Amino acid sequence: MKVAFPTQEDRGIDSPVYGHFGSAAAFVIAETGSDKVDRVVNEDAVHQHGMCNPLAALGGQPVDAIVVGGIGAGALMKLQAAGVRVYRAMEGSVRENLEMIDAGRLPELTIDQTCAGHQGGEGCSH
């Protein structure tokens, strides 16, 4: 399974998973069962809230799943419509979260667990 992880720092498979899909600097794309990773710069990092184009953000790279700390409802629905599963990341690295998804230990995100915005000092639940 090909899995994308939003990141701010480029440390390959040891990059920390970033908490927000749309504003991530890049994505580490990994294949389960392998330490080989690719990095894709987020081509959609600058967008208005709610206007994220997740497939453009991934640079057209096909993936089976996303593992992220938080994501907006619109982005989640667009990914799900494209057949991409979205899982909630646990704190840690791409490697650690890849091991957890391999073991079936990451929960799949639902629409009621999405980010509603960050205006007025109110943050997300992640």
51-82 pLDDT tens trace: 567 887 888 899 999 999 988 888 899 999 99
Model pLDDT, residue 93: 96
Model pLDDT, residue 126: 47
pLDDT digits (tens, 9 = 90+) for 84-126: 999 999 999 999 999 999 999 999 998 776 766 544 434 444 4
Taking the whole predicted model, whether its pTM rises above 0.75 is answered as yes
Longest Cα–Cα distance in the chain: 42
CA end-to-end span of the chain, whole Å? 25
Model pLDDT, residue 112: 74
Model pLDDT, residue 115: 64
Q: Coil, helix or strand for 25?
A: coil
Cβ contact 25:8 at 8 Å: yes
Does domain 2-117 correspond to CATH entry 1.10.1040.10?
no
Model pLDDT, residue 44: 73
Higher pLDDT, 121 or 31: 31
18 vs 66, 83, 126, CA distance in Å?
12, 22, 11
Q: Is 97 exposed, middle or buried (0-12, 13-18, 19+ CB in 10 A)?
A: buried
Tell me the pLDDT band of 49, cut-offs 50, 70 and 90: low
